[in-house]
Structure formats: structure tokens, C-alpha cells
Amino acid sequence: MKKYYLLFFVIGLLLLGCSKKKEKFSEKSISDTLATYLTLANEDTIPYEDRLSYNKKAFAILINQDNDSLNRVNLFKVANRYYNMNNFVEYWKVSKIIAERSKNENDTLNIARAYTYIGDYYASTVKKDSAFLYYTKAEKIYQKKNDKVNLGGVFISMATAQGYENDFLGSELSAIKALNVLRDTQEKSKIYEAYNILGFVSNELKDYEKSLEYHTKALTLAKENNLKNFNEVSSSLNNIGNVYQNQKKYKKAIETYEEALKDKSLIVYKPSLYGILLDNLAYSKFKLKDYSQLPGLFYKSLRIRDSLDIGIGIVNSKIHLSEYYYEKGDSIKARGFAREALEGSREIQNSRAILASLKQLGIVEPQKASIYSEEYIRINDSLQSAERKSKDKFARIEYETDEIIQQKDKLAEQNRNILFFFGLVVMIGILLFVIKNQRSKTKELMLKQAQQKANEDIYNLMLYQQNKIEEGRANEKVRIAQELHDGILGRLFGARLNLDSLNKRQDEEAIVSRNNYLVELKNIEQDIREISHDLNREKHALNNNFIGIVNNLIEQQETVSQAKVSFVVDMEIEWEKIENYIKINLYRILQEALLNINKYAQAENVRIEIIKQEKTLKLTVTDDGVGFSVSKKSKGIGLQNMLSRANACEATFDIKSKIGKGTTITVAFPLETNQK
């Protein structure tokens, strides 16, 4: 039968308290006053008042120093010494100062550490929710810094705080979280504490096999890693004995307690655990009705606990003595110890201890059983209500752990199936996207190749036309040379000879002949003028060969469209001075514009203008078709091609359109580098 409810958490607090005792005596120069004070304050052999005085002197030095990292480190040492001396009020004050100094310097790691210390202070009082709050603040910082060691320690502290409020499931999750964080570290002591908490929680939840499993892991870890600083082996043996005791396997419990008591160092270094072991051993013997060492073991445990002022331990010892004497028929001593237990539990304000005392009083004083029962019910209801509220406070934090997932194999299988299906869908989606994207790129490449081919064709056409022009020009030169040589030159030579002979004669006939030859010279002059005019017309025709290509395009447009096309061109444009790539792109833009008009515009009239404005060659295509909303319509490949060709020539491209009002496309090609 379980007689006390907080034994696990008392032991847990003792373990955490021991783990706080980080600094032991080390040799330092006695000339270093601060170091000397800190060392003496941590020496257990010195009387308590002297240690307290040394620590206060160390604090007095530090509080007046500059707020640097070394100062904060030493303040942590002062706080630790107050904790080791169980002076929690001073411990809390120093921790608060460290937190403020760390905030002032934005020292996040020390802020988190100070939060942990403040949480430990509240954990030592009844304010477990405040402890949990500060632990949570520290947790967030350590997670952000990926500090696994300290994060694991915070989870252990959170698990302990939750356990005190009987939030066993929350405590279990926090402890498992600590194990997950610490798994790849060398922090064996913290891992040991996490296993202990899990063992205690399982014990409270009456899952004794699981509890033994965790406590055995902790015991193995303590032995393998030689964790002897705080008598971890004996602590684990005591925990295992408690499980056996709850299983009513009292012989196994006695064997385990006796093995733990073989560690004689407990009397000096861990008297609190020594007292617990004596009481547990005595109670197991009592349950087996082995009174050979009773009540001596009970009294020995009580004396140790009384000397250490362990309130809950004193109450438990007196309850056990009351049970023992009631069994022995000594009702007076049984009632006396039960009443003392109730009085002591009320002094320490421990609800669980009060309930246990009331229950024992109801047994040893049956005439007042109804009174004790009524008070028991009232306190128990109040305690359960308080526990529910505490659990609600802790429930805001959710933990996911590998152990929970492993316990839910079916859910894990479903999750794996969902993950597999999701991955398959994602892969198919990616594959379809890649295929679609590849097809789009292939179409784009084919279009570019087609455009390139068209550009090459039109360029070759223009070269062909240019060659034809040059060929015609050469033929014309030959013809003109022949005419000049055979016609004009011969006639001039004959006129010159005849006039030369007539210069020697002065008769009437000579005068008439000279007049005739003058007329001939006029005729020759007229012939030369006609040849000159023919040359000018050839030049004009040659210069307007590009316009001929454009005219052919317009004629093609008129054959495939009902729209009437008017074409206006500036005859002053010197096309031979304009680069071929500008002519090509101008032609292709015009071609694309006419194609779009055929497809979409439903126009009746189309006007095309090519004019020169200072250093700009301007193409304008206007139609009176249905138009469209420029702001809403996405740019199709036709418009993109026109814009791309305009950009290639560094030209400006503008399109204006309204629904029902037609469309105007304007492209301005710069000529400053081509035509002056």
C-alpha cells in the first residue's frame, strides 16, 4: 500500500539540488580575495554562518564591479553557493541581478541561464507555474542557439516541475524531450536524471514494468560511467526498491535497499538518501511482518530526517511509526505519531502529506473517522481541482518524441503511407512540370529557329535584290558608255572637224553650214541631258528597291484581307544609307502587325506610314478595327516578337488601342549611328 505521494519528487529535487553543486574546493592564490571568498563559501567543512559571510563578501565585491562577462560568471558562482546552502531567497535575488545585467549586455546565453536559476527558485517553492514559465523562456533561447546540453537540462527541470503538480503525462513528455536532445551528447548525469524522472512517472502511473526498465537503464548508466559524485548508484537502487515495494514484492525490495546501504559514504555525503533507504527498508520489513530490526530502523531514519529538517520525510516516518504501533496494538503511540504527522504536514503545507495523515488518523481513531474523512474529501477535492488547473497551464506545450511515435505503430504506418503517397504525387507533379516546361522550351526554340530562318531568307532576298541592282547598274554603265562612245562622241568629233574646216571660209555657204553644226551641237546637248535624266531615274529606282519589297507585302495583304490599305512613304529617305538589320526588323514588324490585323482586328481601313523625323525612322500602322484593352490583354507571342525586334534595334515600341476604337502601333528606329 502506497503511503506517501511525493517521495519521487522529493528525491528528484534532492538530485537536482546536488547537481547544482558544481564548484568544489580548488587551489587558488590566497592573495586573490574574491577567489578566496568564493572558495571558502563553497567549503562544506566550514560552519554555515561563516560560509554565508564569505559569500556575502564576495557578492559585495562583485556588485560594484563593471558589468562584463567575467563579472556575470562570478555572480553565477555566488548564486550557486547560496543554492548549496539552501538560502533560496538570496539565490533568487542574485539570479535576478544576473538576468538584468545579462539583458543590458544582450548576453542571451546568460539570460537563459539566469532564467533557469530563477525557475529553480520557484520550483523550490509552491509556485511551480512560475518555475515552468521561466524554464519556457530559457528553452526558447537555448533552442534558438541550438545549445543541446542546456536545453536538455531545462527539459529535465520542466519535467520535475510538472511532476510536482501531478501532471505525469506532461512530465513524461518533457523527460523524453530531454533524452532526445541529450542523446548525442556526453552529458551522462543529465541523461541519468531523465531516466530517473521517467521511472518515477511510470511508477506513479502504476506502469511498474516500464518504471523498472527506466530505473534499470539509469542504474546501468551510473555504473558504466562511474557516476559516484552524488551516489547515483544508491539512488537508482532506492528507486528500484520503491517499485518492488509498490508491487508488494517486499523481499526484492529489501534486497535492493540493503544493497544500496552497503555504500557507507551515504552517511557523510548523502544523509538524506541514507534516511530514505532506512525508512524504506523498515517499511518493507514491516509489511513482511519481520519485526527483528523494528522500530529501531524507523527511529533511526526519523532522527536523520529531523536533523536535516526534511519536513516531508519526518511526516512519512511518523506515519510509518503510527502504522507499526497500530499493528502492534499500541493505540496510544499510534494516535500520537499520526497526530504529529498531521501537525507536521500542516506546518509544511503539503496537501498530499495532510491526506496521508488524515487517512492514518481515520484508521487509528475510528470514533473520529467521519470527521477525518470529511476533511480528507474536502482537501482531496481541492487538491484535484488545483492539479487540473496546473495541468491546464502546462498543457499549452506540446511535445513530439520518437518514443511516442514508436508506441503508435499503426499511426506511424499510416503516416508513412501518407508520406509515400504525398511523395509520389509530388514526383509526378514535378515530372509533368518538367515535361511541360521542356515542351514549351522546345516550341520556343523551334519558333526562334523559324524566325531566324525567316530573317535569313529576307536578308538573302535583299542581298539578291541588291545584286540585281548592282548588275543592272553595271549593264546601264556599259550601255551609257556605248552611247557616249558610239553616238555622242562620234557626232562631237565630226562636228569639231567640220567646224575646224569651215573656220577657213567666210562665204554664205560656210555661214549656213556653221549654223547647221551649231544646231547639231544643241541636239547633242539635249541627248546628253536625256542620258543624265535617265541616270537620275535609275538611282531613284535603285534607292526605292526596299519600298518595292514592302509594296509586295502590302499587295499580299490586300489579297487575303478585305481591308483597304493606304501606304505613305517619305521619298526623301536615303535607303542605301540605312543598315540592313533595321530594314529587316522594320519589314518583320510590319509583317507581324498586318498578320494580327488579319486575325483579330476585323478592320476596314489600314494606314501604313514610313517617315523620317530628324534622326529617327518612324513606322506607324493604324487600323479602324475592334481594338482591345492594352492593360488587360496579356502579351501574345506576336506582340512579344515585335517588341523583341524593336529592342534589338534599340527602337521605341508603342501600342495604343481601345475597344471599338481601333489600334495604332508606332515604332521609332534611331538613325544617329547609321544615317546623318
Q: Please report the pLDDT score of residue 576 as a whole number.
A: 82
Residue 315, domain extent: 310-397
Q: Are residues 627 and 537 in the same domain?
A: no
Q: Are residues 348 and 447 in the same domain?
A: no
Q: What is the mean pLDDT of residues 162-186?
A: 84
Phi, psi of 492 (to 5 degrees): -65, -40
Q: Are residues 115 and 228 in the same domain?
A: no
Count other Cβ atoms within 10 Å, centred on residue 196.
29
- In a domain? residue 348: yes
Count other Cβ atoms within 10 Å, centred on residue 418.
10
Q: What is the mean pLDDT of residues 647-657?
A: 90
Choose the most confident range, by mean pLDDT, from 31-35, 104-108, 218-222, 606-610: 606-610
Whether 12 has a pLDDT exceeding 50, the answer reads no
**pLDDT tens string 284-299:** 998 898 888 889 898 9
- In a domain? residue 199: no
Q: Are residues 17 and 144 in the same domain?
A: yes
Domain boundary among 225, 260, 295: 295
- In a domain? residue 198: no
Domain with residue 242: its CATH number is 1.25.40
Share of the chain above pLDDT 70, in %: 76
Distances (CA, A) of 75 to 135, 151, 153, 286, 518: 20, 21, 20, 49, 130
510 or 467: which leads in pLDDT: 510
- In a domain? residue 628: yes
Whether 212 has a pLDDT exceeding 80, the answer reads yes
Q: Are residues 375 and 423 in the same domain?
A: no
The rounded mean pLDDT for the chain is 78
- In a domain? residue 305: no
Q: What is the mean pLDDT of residues 177-204?
A: 87
Sign, Cα dihedral of 67, 72, 77, 82: positive
Q: What is the mean pLDDT of residues 203-210?
A: 89
Q: Are residues 40 and 175 in the same domain?
A: yes
Q: Are residues 462 and 517 in the same domain?
A: yes
Domain boundary among 491, 522, 543: 543
Which helix (H) or strand (E) segment holds residue 616: the answer is strand 616-623
Q: What is the mean pLDDT of residues 63-88?
A: 86
How many folded domains does the chain comprise? 5
Give the three cell numbers for residue 178: 530531454
The contacts of residue 230 (CB under 8 Å, 6+ apart) are 15, 18, 19, 269, 270
Domain boundary among 270, 295, 320: 295
Q: Please report the pLDDT score of residue 668 as a whole number.
A: 93
Q: What is the mean pLDDT of residues 620-642?
A: 81
Q: What is the mean pLDDT of residues 439-450?
A: 76
Q: Please report the pLDDT score of residue 543 as a whole number.
A: 46
Q: Please report the pLDDT score of residue 527 as a whole number.
A: 67
Q: Are residues 288 and 316 in the same domain?
A: no
Q: Are residues 441 and 392 in the same domain?
A: no
Specify the range with the lowest mean pLDDT, choosing from 219-233, 249-263, 655-669: 219-233
- In a domain? residue 413: yes
Q: Are residues 482 and 428 in the same domain?
A: yes
Q: Please report the pLDDT score of residue 534 as a whole number.
A: 59
Q: Are residues 384 and 424 in the same domain?
A: no
Q: What is the mean pLDDT of residues 406-410?
A: 50
Domain with residue 111: its CATH number is 1.25.40.10
Q: Please report the pLDDT score of residue 383 as a whole number.
A: 61
**pLDDT tens string 109-154:** 888 888 888 888 887 776 667 787 888 888 888 888 888 888 888 8
**pLDDT tens string 302-316:** 898 888 888 888 889
Q: Are residues 159 and 13 in the same domain?
A: yes
Q: Please report the pLDDT score of residue 123 as a whole number.
A: 79
